[in-house]
């Protein structure tokens, strides 16, 4: 048996086309502002891709880039300005930030109504309460993938490897909301393989190449590889050994799997933020 490949690139293009259509139907200005601090080459590529995708969807964008030695106060001042700017609907702070800048402080400074990454404690709390508003783009993209392929979730078992606030924890909440039995594993989990083998849906999001091997996967399971790791030769690989394709029923590749969906769902979040703001609809929990 060879797993069906989940084509995130094609599905991402489909979602982006739907967002573009919805932006046209909305008929009002939509704008995403990004903040990038430092010289990390990958971050510059990611931000450039987000601006390109935004423009293709009819979403305006503002690109704010700073050298790595920029003071935290300067970034916070910019966020205050963007929060108050009615022409800006979404604010995205590209991670990671330089070590002298406190990421939680910066992320929590973003207006929850413009927090298109879904990282603000208010948006995280709404997800926890089962009232999601702006949800982190990667896990929400995974849910679209599962729905597109008709993966049965209710009553099934899910295992999420990774407990980050960006992917692992929100991923678990979204799967739990679909009535799955969810286990979160991490670096201190005893006998990770034993847990993983129970999963009908296995999500790995830890950034460790080859962590998940065929012996850890239930035959026919759906395997979602969120890991993005660069080898010494510059090749991108995931957390999951490619040989798992011979065991799983459905599986995402790296690259071309979850990554394109993340950008697509970021655009969806930006439009959602604009719709709430322009309609003067109160943000849930405010």
Q: Cβ of 157: how many Cβ atoms within 10 Å?
A: 18
Annotate 32-61 with DSSP letters as a single string.
Answer: EEEEEES--HHHHHHHHHHHHHHHHTT-EE
Beta-strand relationship, 236-237 and 229-230: antiparallel
Q: Inter-axis angle of helices 168-177 and 121-128, to 10 degrees?
A: 30
280 is catalytic: no
| Cα 123 from Cα 10, distance rounded (Å) | 29
14 is catalytic: no
169 is catalytic: no
In sequence order, the β-bridge partners of residue 115 are: 91
- Choice among 7, 117, 239, 241 that is catalytic: 117
Beta-strand relationship, 222-225 and 229-230: unpaired
| Cα 156 from Cα 236, distance rounded (Å) | 31
CA nearest neighbour of 219 among 250, 189, 193, 195: 250
| Cα 32 from Cα 24, distance rounded (Å) | 16
- Choice among 7, 89, 94, 115 that is catalytic: 94
| Cα 65 from Cα 49, distance rounded (Å) | 15
For 264-278, letters b (16+ CB in 10 Å) and e give bbbbbbbbbbbbbbe
Q: Are 169 and 144 in contact (CB under 8 A)?
A: no
**Residue 160 falls in which region: left (phi positive, over 0), alpha (psi -120 to 50) or beta:** beta
Active site residues: 50, 94, 117
């Amino acid at each position: 048996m060879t797993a069906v490949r989940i084509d995130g690139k094609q599905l991402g293009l489909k979602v982006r086309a739907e967002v573009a259509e919805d932006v046209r139907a909305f008929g009002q200005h939509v704008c995403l502002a990004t903040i990038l601090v430092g010289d990390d080459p990958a971050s510059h590529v990611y931000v450039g891709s987000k601006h390109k995708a935004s423009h293709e969807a009819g979403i305006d964008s503002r690109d704010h880039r700073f050298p790595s030695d920029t003071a935290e106060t300067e970034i916070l001042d910019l966020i205050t300005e963007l929060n108050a700017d009615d022409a800006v609907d979404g604010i995205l702070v590209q991670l990671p930030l330089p070590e002298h800048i406190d990421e939680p402080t910066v992320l929590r400074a973003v207006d929850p109504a413009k927090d298109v990454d879904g990282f603000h404690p208010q948006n995280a709390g709404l997800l926890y309460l089962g009232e999601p508003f702006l949800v982190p783009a990667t896990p929400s993209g995974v849910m679209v993938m599962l729905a597109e392929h008709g993966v049965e979730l209710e009553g099934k078992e899910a295992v999420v490897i990774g407990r980050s606030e960006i992917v692992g924890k929100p991923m678990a909440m979204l799967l739990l909301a679909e009535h799955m039995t969810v286990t979160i594993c991490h670096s201190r989990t005893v006998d990770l393989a034993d847990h993983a083998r129970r999963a009908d849906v296995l999500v790995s999001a830890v950034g460790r190449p080859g962590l998940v091997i065929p012996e850890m996967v239930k035959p026919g399971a759906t395997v979602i590889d969120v890991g993005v790791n660069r080898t010494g030769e510059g090749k991108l690989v995931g957390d999951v050994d490619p040989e798992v394709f011979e065991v799983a029923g459905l599986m995402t590749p790296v690259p071309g799997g979850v990554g394109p969906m993340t950008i697509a769902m970021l655009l969806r979040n930006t439009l959602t933020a604009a719709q709430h703001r322009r309609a003067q609809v109160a943000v849930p929990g405010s």
